[in-house]
């Protein structure tokens, strides 16, 4: 059972993930309850019932740690979700969502994972294709006056190739998920799993225009594989109209 305000993922996402792992999710604490997963602002009554029935109490972090899948490869993990029928997509997305996984040599001159992802984004055929599609999109002049800060041209001197910016991983995780007919796995759970095999997981966003609310955004997610040191990741498309 889940109770309180969940902070890592929504309660519905947590419950759906538990069900997808084979658990039965109850609505009240009883003698048949095995675990009570607590968030913030938990009522004292439920805690007392859990203690009375000998129910083990877990925090969100402890629950995710216990339910964590064994992950050796980002590509195998993501492709495994796809094969199981999950649609990996960004919230409120009108595009295709998941585009591809990748594994390449880690750039020798990259001082950070952000720079490594930027190097890959510049040569990625997926990114090139999506940004080329965006060239036909028109924006109101009023919109273009409100250009956002923190963007840089993906390729210096060529603004038609898109605009890049770094993205906070935890914020990104709250806004994407894997959805099937039977279950929803939150982005927070996916990121938690991937951290087993990826060092310093990061996110780079490529926008068609230097705007927070641009129509087409490609997210390049990845980092160095802990064993091989190679750059592993996946690419998501988000379209807002």
Helix (H) or strand (E) holding 152: strand 152-155
Confidence (pTM): 0.77
List pLDDT tens digits, range 189-211. Answer: 899 889 999 999 999 999 999 99
Write the Ramachandran bin of 125: left for phi over 0, alpha for psi from -120 to 50, otherwise beta: alpha
Q: Which residue has the higher pLDDT, 51 or 106?
A: 106
User: So what's the pLDDT on residue 69?
Assistant: 63
More confident residue, 64 or 190: 190
Where does the pLDDT of residue 154 fall: very low under 50, low under 70, confident under 90, or very high at 90 and above?
Answer: very high
**How many whole angstroms separate alpha carbon 241 and alpha carbon 239?**
7
Question: What sign for the dihedral angle of Cα 33, 42, 170, 175?
Answer: positive
CB 99 within 8 A of CB 133: no
Q: Of 34, 19, 50, give the one whose Cα is nearest residue 189.
A: 19
Per-residue model confidence (pLDDT) at position 62:
77
What's the pLDDT score for residue 188?
Answer: 84
């Amino acid at each position: 059972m889940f109770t309180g305000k969940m902070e890592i993922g929504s309660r519905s996402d947590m419950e759906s993930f538990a069900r997808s792992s084979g658990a039965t999710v109850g609505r009240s604490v009883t003698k048949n309850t095995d675990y009570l997963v607590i968030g913030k602002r938990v009522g004292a009554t439920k805690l007392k019932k859990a203690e009375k029935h000998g129910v083990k109490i877990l925090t969100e972090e402890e629950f995710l740690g216990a339910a964590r899948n064994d992950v050796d490869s980002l590509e195998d993990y993501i492709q495994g979700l796809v094969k199981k029928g999950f649609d990996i997509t960004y919230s409120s997305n009108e595009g295709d969502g998941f585009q591809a996984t990748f594994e390449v040599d880690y750039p020798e001159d990259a001082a950070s994972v952000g720079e490594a992802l930027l190097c890959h984004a510049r040569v990625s055929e997926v990114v090139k294709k999506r940004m080329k599609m965006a060239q036909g999109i028109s924006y109101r002049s009023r919109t273009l006056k409100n250009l956002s800060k923190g963007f840089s041209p993906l390729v210096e001197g060529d603004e038609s190739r898109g605009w890049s910016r770094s993205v906070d991983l935890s914020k990104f995780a709250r806004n994407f998920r894997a959805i099937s007919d039977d279950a929803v796995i939150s982005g927070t759970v996916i990121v938690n799993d991937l951290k087993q095999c990826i060092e310093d997981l990061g996110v780079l966003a490529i926008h068609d225009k230097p705007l927070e609310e641009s129509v087409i955004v490609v997210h390049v997610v990845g980092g160095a594989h802990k064993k091989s040191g190679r750059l592993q990741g996946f690419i998501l498309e988000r379209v807002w109209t």
